[in-house]
Amino acid sequence: MEKVTVSLGTRSYPITIGFGLLKDPTAFWPLISGDSAILITNDRLTSLYLDPLYKRLVQVGIKVDCIILPDGEQNKSLLMLDRIFTFLLKRSYSREITIIALGGGVIGDLAGFAAASYKRGVRLIHAPTTLLSQVDSSIGGKTAINHSLGKNMIGVFYQPVSVIIDLDCLDTLPRREFSSGLAEIIKYGIAFDASFFYWLENNLELIFKLEPKALAYCVCHCCKLKSKVITNDEYEKSQRILLNLGHTYGHAIEVHTGYDGNWLHGEAVSAGIMMAAFASYRLGQFNDFEAKRVSTLLIRAGLPISGPINMKPNDYLPYMMRDKKVKSGQLHLVLPTEIGSAKVYANVTNDVAMASIKDCQNLVN
């Protein structure tokens, strides 16, 4: 078992990483305020993780209620958020309630937004069950819901009291969703850590095989990288923006395709990373050799390096111009300068952004 700390003064919290943690009530009950908790999960995870965790919490004297939401990115919505609030209000829960988010990024965002908003804030524990949520979305306090005009545009920063990562959850994760999580892992190497990118190139097959030491190292290293960024820039004013590598393009893909599951978040980010690499190349930064390393690793991870066939470059632009990094009507993009380093480029022209999308299309044609 490993522990990583997100250092935020009085709001600091641990990230606990290990195997079998959902079967260990001592990982949860000391963190619960009072004697009551709400488990929020989705209908796909109830038989896998909800019942065992529920029973163990009850055994140690915790009163547990469950909110089971439908699975899927399209359900990260105001409607589902309202369902959570209605559940809590009908049962007159006080500020002493603890919310446990048991699931991937959708559940984490919904439960986190609810915890931040219900009676102006209650305790939150993240128990992420997907690779993507374990290495990225459960850490750092970002919560949001989607809108038909933009992804993650309505939300709030709200830190949990703990993140509990049970690596056994990855045993049941479908291959496609596992690959989706690898996109965020590869992103860390490109944006922050060249030696970690090299490690991924040499150990990707071990990660796919869920080899315990390689898997634990990979997840733990990503948590350390992100916790360091959050400690230095909680509210995304400087360094934390670099975590958005590939996301401006990727979010455009997700919104355009309607959150319907045809494109998972990590798949869209993967295509976006490649587009960002080509944009950087066009600006005279990234070179051919490094772009090839990135595309090769993404492909080996089972990820796309181009967007939807029926999505034209001009289709991206309206969504990209609503991105949170846009300033004074000018597009700002996080682009890699070399493997292991990235920066925000101000005033990237539409021509460069559109050309980078075409470059990716040409790469797969």
Strand pairing report for 333-338 and 341-345: antiparallel
Active site residue 236: yes
* pLDDT tens digits for range 345-359: 998 999 999 999 999
For position 116, what pLDDT does the model report?
98
Phi-psi region of 259 (alpha: psi -120 to 50; beta: other; left: phi over 0): left
CA separation for the pair 34, 57 (Å, rounded) = 13
In contact, 308 and 258? CB cutoff 8 Å? no
Confidence of residue 223 (pLDDT cuts 50, 70, 90): very high
Confidence of residue 7 (pLDDT cuts 50, 70, 90): very high
pLDDT average, residue stretch 195-213: 98
- pLDDT per position as a tens digit, 141-193: 999 999 999 999 999 999 999 999 999 999 999 999 999 999 999 999 999 99
Task: Examine the pLDDT at 34 and tell me if it is beyond 90.
Answer: no
Closest CA to 234 of 64, 11, 17, 56: 11
Task: Work out whether the CA dihedral 329, 330, 335, 341 comes out positive or negative.
Answer: negative
Q: Which of 76, 244, 254, 267 is catalytic?
A: 244
Which residue has tokens 């990483």?
Answer: 17
Answer yes or no: are the C-beta atoms of 3 and 140 closer than 8 Å. no
For residue 200, the tally of other CB atoms under 10 A from its CB is 22
When the pLDDT of each residue in the chain is averaged and rounded to a whole number, the result is 96
Q: Is 11 a catalytic residue?
A: no
Q: Which residues contact 218 (CB under 8 A, 6 or more apart)?
A: 135, 185, 200, 203, 207
Q: Which of 126, 151, 256, 265 is catalytic?
A: 265
Is the Cα torsion angle 109, 114, 115, 117 positive or negative in sign?
A: positive
Longest dimension (CA), the chain: 61
The tens digit of pLDDT for each residue in 268-310 reads 999 999 999 999 999 999 999 999 999 999 999 999 999 999 9
Is 96 an active-site residue? no
**pLDDT for the residue 340:** 98
What is the model's pTM? 0.96
Residue 244 a catalytic site member? yes
Catalytic residue among 90, 120, 175, 213: 120
Residue 211 has pLDDT above 90, yes or no: yes
Query: What pLDDT sits at residue 291?
Result: 97
Catalytic entry in 76, 126, 142, 187: 142
Instruction: Please pick, among 126, 187, 251, 282, the residue that the annotation labels catalytic.
Output: 251
Mean pLDDT of 307-327: 94
91 noted as active-site residue: no
Out of 56, 151, 221, 226, which one is annotated catalytic? 226
Listed residue (346, 24, 339) closest to 194, CA to CA: 339
Between residues 222 and 1, the one the model is more confident about: 222
Alpha-carbon radius of gyration of the chain? 20
Place of tokens 């209620």: 65
pLDDT at res. 329: 84
Which entry of 56, 126, 221, 247 is annotated as an active-site residue? 247
- Please report which confidence band the pLDDT of residue 33 belongs to, taking 50, 70 and 90 as the band edges: confident
Residue 265 annotated to the active site: yes
Catalytic residue among 73, 177, 184, 290: 184
Q: For this structure, is 247 an active site residue?
A: yes
| pLDDT value for 327 | 86
- pLDDT tens per residue across span 52-90: 899 999 988 999 999 999 999 999 999 999 999 999 999
Q: What is the pLDDT of residue 365?
A: 81
Check whether 330 has a pLDDT greater than 90: no
pLDDT tens per residue across span 83-137: 999 999 999 999 999 999 999 999 999 999 999 999 999 999 999 999 999 999 9
Return the DSSP state at 143.
E
